[in-house]
A and B are shown apart, each in its own frame.
Chain A
Amino acid sequence: MAVRERLSGNEAVAYAIRQINPDVMPAFPITPSTEIPQYVANYIANGEIDTEFIPVESEHSSMSAAVGASAAGARALTATSSCGLALMWEELYVAASNRLPLVLALVNRALSGPININADHSDSMGARDSGWIQIYAESNQEAYDNFLQAYPIAEHKDVMLPVMICQDGFITSHGVENILLEEDEKVRAFVGERNPEHYLLNPEETLAVGPYAVSSYYMETKRGQRQAMINARRVILEVAERFREMTGREYGFFEAYRMEDAEYAVVLIGSAAGTCKAAIEQIRSTTGKKVGLVKIRVFRPFPEEEIAAALADVKAVAILDRSEMFSATGGPLGAEVRAALYQARGRAEAVNYFYGLGGRDITVEDFCQVYERLERIAAEHEITDMYDYIGLRSR
């Protein structure tokens, strides 16, 4: 039986870490992810787990140490946010190209500048091309559930890629909500032990990790990395199926909420999905209008065909980005969803919104207005710009 609890998102992830009891956690504190290593350090001090905690002098070092530990054969992880992730930039690529199955608990926070501590996706979106699998959460429950699925995905022999488990800073990381926790033994059986095929501390095998690759090898190596990301699609779904068998909770690349008959859809990532769901229920119960949501869970690998299929029958779609891209057109999710629709000869009108930057709130009322706008766009074939804003002050 699952245990009914109420935890913050940071507590939930730390709880998952305690249950998994990984081998090595190097970490450096940064708001709003600081609590995760704090709680883990408490678990270690109380003798509940025997994870080797390494207090390092920067995030450059925490990711470097995690890379080293993972190459040595350990199950490694770290946690960070915002500028901490930025300082790891080089090592993110090293971890992915060396095919090291480590896990990063990312608490999404706006990147400077201007300096800001609140939720947006500019940190992880900047790292979207680093070769990491990226999985996002709407709620504390999902942050916990995603973390439990991280190592089985990362360490699968057909994948061997690092995984970033993302949740929205403060909104879920510091918000207390009801949550269902799985029992320790069940979690340990589900996640299992890491049994690396090749590792540096193996006395039976000589091994070099991370050699220089001249141009006659680099491109082939990158193609191999791409194959791992392609394989991850299958493995993510297999792990989700095993997770459903254990918990009854279903996960896929995204959640299609009230999409069976939807004419107007929103596509977004993260905690705002819950607010959007409340708007959908309100609109459907008061007006009967057929509105739905595609909440992206897995952004890397990008489920292009599945998203296009989910949006095949809608009249208009609003794609919401919580991250600037400074392309002078749309945002990253907007660009990729539009490309997916184009590739699938999608007929839906599409508008891309920026919202929630630097923690700007988004409300049920905001979503109601988005759906009204979608209806107008579909009815009048109103010409739309590539992008618009929600909640931006403007003259």
Chain B
Amino acid sequence: MKKSLEIRWHGRGGQGAKTAALLLADVAFKAGKFVQGFPEYGPERMGAPITAYNRISEEPVTVHSNIYSPDYVVVVDDGLLENTDVTHGLKEDGAVIINTEKEKEEVLPLLHDYKGAVYTLNAKDISLKTLGKNYPNSPMLAAVVAVSGAMEPGTFMKEMEASFHHKFAKKPEVIDGNMKALEMTFAEIAKSC
């Protein structure tokens, strides 16, 4: 991993992009990093496009601006690709990770000739197979860690398991499913490399 990473999330209000950014900050913090996780707020409406950001660094971070040249972009809802230039400013040695049920070839034309790496992940499918419900956050989180190398996969899995045990203390049955979702995502990303 580079000494410092900047990540931009695109999602819709209520879909969990902000929560995912905060979760990533959380797990990176536990892995010993300096972190920022922050949303950009517009009119607060369910379904409106929203942006959230992460900075993950070995050094303390003081910058308080939004991120305009991210190392990685995560798109939680492929419906945004039609009207949002998600790769705007994205570094060419970086990557965009898109949650979609479509094939990569179908989404490429929507990426404004982005020259860097493009990853697609069917987070819905992974979530349905492992949890029986569509919760794309865990797979997307694993995908951005796998692609960016923001932290060691082993550390990530260990911290996520601890956090699931804390979060789902009263629903331990969903912990295994969530861990499987992370594992499947790592395998999927490895395949597309």
Partners in one complex: yes
By the criterion CB–CB under 8 Å, are B38 and A170 in contact?
Answer: yes
A290 within 8 A of B: no
Q: Which residues of chain B have C-beta atoms less than 8 A from A118's C-beta?
A: 41
A132, B141: Cα distance in complex, Å: 45
Known pairs A6-B26, A6-B29; A178 contacts B64 (CB<8 A): no
Total interface residues in chain A, CB < 8 Å: 27
Question: With the chains together, A171 CA to B53 CA distance in Å?
Answer: 11
B108 within 8 A of A: no
Nearest-Cβ distance from residue A346 to partner chain B, whole angstroms: 28
> Chain A nearest CB: distance from B141 CB in Å?
15
Could you tell me if B65 and A176 are in contact, using CB atoms closer than 8 angstroms? no
Query: How far, in angstroms, from A233 to B34 measured CA to CA in the complex?
Result: 34
Complex CA distance for A361 and B68, rounded to whole angstroms = 11
Cβ-based interface call for A364 (8 A): yes
Question: Which one, A31, A176, A273, A277, contacts B25 given CB within 8 A?
Answer: A176
- Which residues in A have their C-beta under 8 angstroms from that of B66? 361, 363
A176 and B36 form a contact (CB under 8 A): yes
Contact A171 B64 (CB under 8 A): yes
Kindly provide the distance from the CB of A277 to the nearest chain B CB, expressed in whole angstroms.
5
The answer to whether B25 touches A172, judged by C-beta atoms less than 8 angstroms apart, is: no
Q: In the assembled complex, which residues on chain B have CB atoms less than 8 Å from the CB atom of A69?
A: none
Q: Interface-forming stretch among B55-63, B147-155, B157-165, B175-183?
A: B55-63
Q: Is B37 an interface residue (CB 8 A)?
A: yes
A265 within 8 A of B: no
| Residue in contact with B41 in the complex, picked from A6, A174, A363, CB distance below 8 Å | A174
How distant is the Cα of A49 from the Cα of B29 in the complex, in angstroms? 28
Contact flag A361-B22 (CB < 8 Å), given A174-B41, A178-B29: no
Interfacial chain A residues near B39, Cβ < 8 Å: 170, 174
**From residue B167, how far is it (CB to closest CB) to chain A in Å?**
16
**CB-CB contacts of A355-390 with B at 8 A, as 1s and 0s?**
000000111100000000000000000000000000
Contact of A175 among B26, B38, B44, B62 (CB under 8 A): B38
Q: Is the CB of A6 within 8 A of B25?
A: yes
Contact with B along A300-317 (1 / 0, CB 8 A): 000000000000000000
Contacts of A138 in B (CB 8 A): 62, 64
Q: Is A298 an interface residue (CB 8 A)?
A: no
Contact among B35, B41, B44, B68 for A177, CB-based, below 8 A: B35
Question: Which of A168, A174, A275 contacts B63 (CB under 8 A)?
Answer: A275
Please list the residues of chain A having a beta carbon within 8 angstroms of any beta carbon in chain B: 6, 31-32, 117-118, 138-139, 168, 170-172, 174-178, 271-275, 277-278, 361-364
